[in-house]
Amino acid sequence: MITSQMLKGMLEGCILQIIGQQETYGYEISQKLHSYGFGEISEGTIYPLLLRLEKNGLISATYRQSNSGPKRKYFNLSGNGNKELKMFHENWKELCKAINTLMEGDNQC
């Protein structure tokens, strides 16, 4: 089980990755995280992270009418968001190698 402490610091990068795949919205992001094996992460948990990413200019938001009725906030990756995502990939590879080396003596990631 991935604990919330372990997720902290990683979740924003993972959310950027999901948004980078295609334009998406809060509930869909939480569903995708669940499908990738991150466990149940509620939309409420993601919401402050999305606010932070938007505030830092890494994602942009637009409101559109959804099929089911309520207006939905859709997110897209910005240019800075792309750069941040690339940096996250590099940082993750580095971290992954370090942990694998520590745990299994194997630095493949």
Binding site for other proteins (CB under 8 A): 26-27, 42-45, 47-49, 51-52, 55, 66, 68-73
Find the shortest distance in angstroms from Cβ 22 to other proteins. Answer: 19
Residue 54, CA distances (Å) to 1, 3, 5, 41, 58 in order: 29, 25, 23, 19, 6
Q: Of 67 and 108, which CB lies nearer to other proteins in the complex structure?
A: 67
Q: Count how many Cα atoms sit within 13 Å of the Cα of residue 14 in the half-sphere of its side chain.
A: 18
As measured in angstroms, the least distance from the Cβ of 64 to other proteins is 12
Residue among 37 and 48 whose Cβ is closer to other proteins: 48
Contact status, residue 1 vs residue 39, Cβ threshold 8 Å: yes
CA angle 38, 6, 93 (to 5 degrees): 85
Q: Which is nearer to other proteins, 68 or 108 (CB)?
A: 68
Residue 93 CB, nearest approach to other proteins (Å): 28
Length of the chain: 109
Q: How far is the CB of 44 from other proteins (least distance, A)?
A: 3
